[in-house]
């Protein structure tokens, strides 16, 4: 228990009568890279939102380093969404500096003079780390989808979050670019040692990235009332020990689930 960075115990999430998640238990150690997969509507994004503090568990609790999770987003947890993660009115550099400016300049939200120079240098390093140095002064609208996601990652990592949450970050990208992004996220994870949770609907991606795979699925079904039971973690597999057989097995179960939902 004690060396876990995240402890989820007996968490339920309900919206009115609809149960989304039930009896969720999970312990994650610092530095783990968890990928979360599951059929659509199985609550994997809801789970990520609870880690983020955007949603609050209906029952049970989530501990971050042995203290309960703040009930709103904070700088402990960085986030990259599939879209809209970067600010369209700021250049790449301004987008990355923003996190430093918020922390250091409570009233104006802008830094000046020496503090600004230090922040700019730090931001430039971060931008170089995600490979956007050439685009430093461009607006997000001038960047491709992959570059925007690189920017969103740099923007989060400059706050040195304890946990980095990725919500289908590469879902809208071309396969080739997606492979580049996988390489990037793995190398950044190696350098920073931060704990990563990544939601994806691409099972292959879930298998190839990370150290641990979590599959969300419904254990119990009521065909008359699909919302009666929520999803839970059905597979919790340390990666590197997986093979095709397990992949196919998970594939077959999630596919049947989707058919039943239809």
Partner 1 sequence: MKRLVNIQPGKGWRSIMGLLPFILVLITYLFASNARLAVNPNDKLLPSFGSFGEAIERIAIKEDRRTGKVLLWSDTKASLQRLGMGIGISALIGLLFGILNGLIPVIRANLSPFISVLSMIPPLAILPILFIVFGLGELSKVVLIVFGIAPFVMRELQQRVQEIPKEQLIKAQTLDASTWQIMIRIILPQILPRLIDALRLSLGAAWLFLIAAEAIAATDGLGYRIFLVRRYLAMDVILPYVAWITFLAFLMDYGLRALSRFAFPWFEKETSGS
Site residues for partner 1 per CB under 8 A: 52, 54, 72-75, 77-79, 81, 83-89, 98-99, 101-103, 106-110, 139, 141-142, 152, 155-156, 159, 161
Q: Which is nearer to partner 1, 100 or 215 (CB)?
A: 100
Q: Which is nearer to partner 1, 192 or 242 (CB)?
A: 192
Alpha-carbon distance of 35 to 44, in angstroms, equals 10
CB of 151 to partner 1, least distance (A): 11
Q: Which is nearer to partner 1, 19 or 199 (CB)?
A: 199
Residue 82: partners with Cβ closer than 8 Å, 6 or more residues away: 167, 168, 169, 171, 172
Q: Which is nearer to partner 1, 142 or 255 (CB)?
A: 142
CB of 97 to partner 1, least distance (A): 10
CB of 234 to partner 1, least distance (A): 28
CB of 164 to partner 1, least distance (A): 10
Q: Which is nearer to partner 1, 155 or 254 (CB)?
A: 155
CB of 251 to partner 1, least distance (A): 30
Alpha-carbon distance of 55 to 70, in angstroms, equals 11
Q: Which is nearer to partner 1, 77 or 218 (CB)?
A: 77
CB of 142 to partner 1, least distance (A): 7
């Amino acid at each position: 228990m004690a060396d876990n960075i995240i402890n989820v115990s007996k968490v339920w999430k309900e919206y009115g009568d609809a149960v989304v998640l039930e009896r969720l238990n999970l312990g994650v150690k610092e530095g783990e890279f968890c990928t979360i997969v599951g059929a659509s509507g199985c609550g994997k994004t809801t789970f990520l939102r609870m880690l983020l503090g955007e949603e609050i568990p209906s029952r049970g609790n989530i501990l971050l380093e042995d203290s309960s999770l703040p009930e709103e987003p904070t700088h402990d947890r960085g986030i990259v969404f599939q879209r809209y993660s970067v600010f369209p009115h700021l250049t790449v550099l301004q987008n990355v500096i923003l996190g430093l400016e918020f922390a250091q300049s409570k009233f104006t939200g802008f830094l000046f003079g020496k503090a600004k120079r230090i922040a700019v240098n730090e931001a430039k390093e971060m931008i170089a780390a995600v490979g956007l140095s050439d685009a430093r002064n461009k607006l997000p609208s001038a960047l491709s989808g992959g570059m925007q996601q690189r920017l969103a990652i740099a923007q989060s990592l400059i706050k040195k979050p304890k946990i980095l949450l990725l919500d289908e970050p590469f879902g809208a990208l071309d396969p080739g670019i997606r492979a580049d992004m996988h390489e990037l996220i793995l190398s950044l994870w190696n350098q920073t040692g931060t704990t990563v949770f990544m939601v994806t609907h691409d099972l292959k991606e879930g298998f190839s990235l990370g150290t641990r795979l979590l599959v969300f699925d419904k254990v119990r079904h009521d065909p008359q009332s699909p919302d009666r039971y929520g999803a839970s973690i059905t597979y919790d597999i340390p990666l590197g020990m997986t093979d095709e057989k397990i992949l196919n097995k998970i594939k077959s179960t999630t596919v049947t689930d989707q058919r039943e939902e239809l």
